Amino acid sequence: MQKIEKILISNRGEIASRIIKTCKRLQIKTVAIYSEADSNYSFVKEAEEAISLIGSESKETYLNIEKIISIARQTKCDAIHPGYGFLSENSNFAEEVEKAGLIFIGPHHSAIFAMGDKVESRKKMKSINVPVVPGFDGIVSSDTQLLEEAKKIGFPVMIKASAGGGGRGMRKVFSEKEFFTDLESARREAKNFFSNDSVFIEKYIVNPRHIEVQIFGDTKGNVIHLYDRDCSIQRRNQKVVEEAPAPNISDKTRNEIYNTAISAGKCINYTNAGTVEFVMDENENFYFLEMNTRLQVEHPVTEMITGLDLVELQIRISEGFSIYEILPDGKVPEIRGSAIELRICAEEGLIDSKPSSGNIRYLNFSENEGARFDSGVITGNNVSIYYDSMIAKLISYSESRNTTIERAMTNLKALIILGLPTNHLLLDKILSHSEFREGKVNTGFLEKYIHPSNTKNDILFYLSICAVIHSIKIHDLMGRAFSEIHFEPKILDKCYVSDSFEIKNTLKIKHENIVYSIYKENDIFYITHDNEKYHYVLPKISLLNENNILLENGEKIYFCKYGLNIYLQNNCIKETFQILTESNSSKSKNSGNIQSSMPGKIISIHVKKGDTVNEGDPLISIESMKMENIIRAEINAKVEDIFFSVNNQINTEETLMILKNI
């Protein structure tokens, strides 16, 4: 056995902070590495040492094997913890760590290799009679051959990266017409994320459940399970909500899945934390999907229902302990309730969402009973375009699933993030839906049940709130005008009521490219837009502090004014407004302009100047937050001009090309 005294964490954000927390409790020193984009993140300050990596892009920072191992040696670390994502399932990285005389806190590189290639893992599972999804995993001679194999399997099919995981490099293909475009896109994303563009094809099982089993193995040959998780609520193959244990599964099927997962671990002499993932149809037939040879994003729900610290188990197994020496009383704890994890992401839109970036102007979470908030960001941090859009995880727990759902909804409303859009409203809709509450979930849940909602009826209310906020002067707060205050809130002794607010001149506010004119007279807000006139009377309000308005019914509205922008959050509804001046008034836009809805990098241009395109044809592929997004033509048109090239960085609302109607 080797006692680990110091660990380098080759990861960032939330998971880096999570590992540091356990290491502090175990009195193990930590070294953080960070990119230039992450220099102000909290994990950098939480570690005993922090070493800067030159650059911001993943390939030159968190994917740079040579640089990471060199820093581990320089700082005299005993071990490296890879977290999840990045190099966590890279067998070459694990092997290089082992060759350097360091402990890789995870499975042996041979196990990562065996399960890291999805084609080989399918073959391995077949050899021990584990059911796998029908598909083609043979030698590929050409893309045309892949298409022929897809036809044999029958559409719809799933193109999957052989070296993939976490939903990257995956594309659902419903017809032959889409095949080559989606194949090219899947290969490109796989190459970017895993440095390997090989793919295979599986039959796409429509709307299955996604069930996974947490396993742990040790160097003594023991493999145990720590129950199951349901990760069926997904969008574009990315998990959104996870819970443990999975609802509505018979005990017989549950035990069969556990035994199958343990068999999968034992057949490759698995050590450390791993997750065996399955898809399950409506008749509880289950098929091996993949094995993730690392700690999962959703590991907190397992921790909540078992009382175990999975990072501690990882470290102790890496030191050489038997799993039974680590477990309380030498056995797996019984399930002690229900837990739900919500992935909090920076994104715009509800179902057809896009990753977003920007500065977190204000973040606050009021802890409630049964709540856990795992975050790697603080107020003032910037969510960049270089990494994925998840910024935190909100975990709720109780002894019953119904109570856990209620707590999750309460906790979600108590999480305030202002300055950039997040998926609050989507998560709230999921938790409140009757099908979710009854545990009737599958991977098609969002498409079937969650639809965009019209909040326009509330816009008059929010516009009036903005007008009030813009007019506030907080005389007792250091004598500064409210518009200059951008720091953490401080509870005031005195409340300010709406009667003292007065808007003397007409105010123009822009919301979603619509300009509203507002003026107030006799406590009534008059709002005009496109020759229509509305009036709105606000309920009596109080200003609790510089980020919090209290309505007379006890409801709170959180806000942050930064420059000319006002960010509001009312429960799970978030809105952004802009105070207009002469210098920032919007100009009219050409309806034929193709604009980027997100910042990112152009990775492919599918057309050239002079081409004729039809509705639905791909125009440009943009990489943002490590995901590829394809902009498609919305009309039949001719390409008049293209303003950017492949590898150019672009900003939100940048005009990329001009189309002319035909």
What pairing do the DSSP bridges indicate for beta strands 347-348 and 354-355?
antiparallel
Q: Cβ neighbours of residue 562 under 8 Å, at least 6 residues apart?
A: 361, 419, 486
CA distances from 188 to 116, 160, 513, 598, 604 (A): 18, 12, 34, 19, 9
Distances (CA, A) of 516 to 466, 527, 566: 12, 7, 14
Give the CA count within 13 Å in the CB-facing half-sphere of 153. 26
Residue labelled with tokens 């950098």: 44
**Is 359:382 a contact under the CB 8 Å cutoff?**
yes
Strand residues in 41-184 grouped as ranges (E): 49-52, 79-81, 103-104, 135-136, 157-161, 170-173
DSSP per residue, 442-455: -TTHHHHH------
Q: Which residue type occupies 447?
A: E
Q: What are the E-state strand segments in 53-142?
A: 79-81, 103-104, 135-136
Tell me which long-range contacts 496-501 makes (C-beta under 8 A, separation of at least 24): 496/472, 496/542, 496/543, 497/540, 497/541, 497/542, 498/468, 498/523, 498/538, 498/540, 498/541, 499/523, 499/540, 501/468, 501/471, 501/472
Q: Are 624 and 596 in contact (CB under 8 A)?
A: no
Residue 251 burial by Cβ neighbours in a 10 Å radius (0-12, 13-18, 19+): exposed
Note if the bond before 355 is cis, omega within 30 degrees: no
User: Which letter does DSSP use for residue 580 in this model?
Assistant: -
Is there a contact between 33 and 105 (Cβ–Cβ < 8 Å)? Answer: no
CA distance 107 to 219: 10
Write down the catalytic residue from 294, 343, 361, 407.
Answer: 294
User: Does residue 294 carry a catalytic annotation?
Assistant: yes
Which amino acid, residue 567?
Answer: Y
Active site positions, annotated: 294
